[in-house]
Amino acid sequence: MCRLSTKPFYKLLVLLSLLILTGCAAAKQPIFLSSTFGKERIERIHVLPVVDLRFNKEPELPKLNKWILGTVKSSLKRKKYTFTIVSDTSLVGNITEEDLQTVDAEWVKDLGPTGSRWVMVIALLDAKSKLTFGSTGNAEVAGYLFDRMDGSIVWRDKGIGSVGQGGLIGMFLKGLMIGDAINMATSDLMRSFPDNEV
């Protein structure tokens, strides 16, 4: 019996959705944008490993950094930033949601690798998939850009992603839903990050 693979077709649908989000959709307003953003050239952004802030860390997501940071890299390139993806997970091991919300200047000054100034943190707040007659995936991420020089936050926003596929095809593709929802949420998040125009 000949079995038709539905994975390439589904991936094409998700890719088209992401292209619409990143290429055609207008930039959105972030939750917070410092009035100083854009007044001074950002020489290099250090992007830290993803912080998993889910209350329940299930399911395990071994590809989390690949999913999120791949989308962040594409967005920063398109917006004409120079950046470094930092791989040292010890730099984010103790970060909590409270740390990111309260923005203590001394804490910010100690964030990130030595010698860095502009530090970006992306946090996964929620990610889940559900099986019905089909399947769905939902995710929420938050992003922050800090200036270590004065211990301030210059940009903050959240992004959400929701994907789904009905019927038997969707049931077979449940395993892909979380990753695609996370990619979509990250694309939504980065839409509010300003272009580097200085």
Answer whether the bond into residue 59 is a cis peptide, omega within 30°. yes
Cα→Cα distances 166→160, 169, 177, Å:
20, 7, 12
Which pLDDT score, from 0 to 100, does residue 26 have? 64
In this structure, what are the phi and psi dihedrals at residue 100, rounded to the nearest 5 degrees?
A: -75, -25
Q: 31-190, which class in CATH?
A: alpha beta
17/180: higher pLDDT: 180
CA–CA dist 177, 182 (Å, integer): 9
Which pLDDT score, from 0 to 100, does residue 2 have? 42
pTM beyond 0.75: the answer is: yes
Which pLDDT score, from 0 to 100, does residue 3 have? 45
Dihedral angle, C-alpha 111, 118, 66, 177, nearest 10 °: 90
Whether residue 108 contacts residue 145, with contact meaning beta carbons closer than 8 Å, is answered with: no
185: closest CA among 119, 134, 123? 123
Dihedral angle, C-alpha 80, 190, 71, 126, nearest 10 °: 160
Which pLDDT score, from 0 to 100, does residue 12 have? 42
Taking 70 as the threshold, does the pLDDT of residue 21 lie above it?
no
Residue ranges of alpha helices (H) inside the chain are 7-19, 64-78, 97-102, 105-109, 167-172, 174-190
3-state helix, strand, coil in the chain (%, to 5): 35, 30, 35
Q: Where are the domains of the chain?
A: 31-190
User: Which single residue is written with the structure tokens 């930039």?
Assistant: 27
Question: Which amino acid, one-letter code, is at 149?
Answer: M
Q: Which tens digits make up the pLDDT trace of 99-148?
A: 998 989 999 999 999 999 999 999 999 998 765 656 778 999 999 999 99
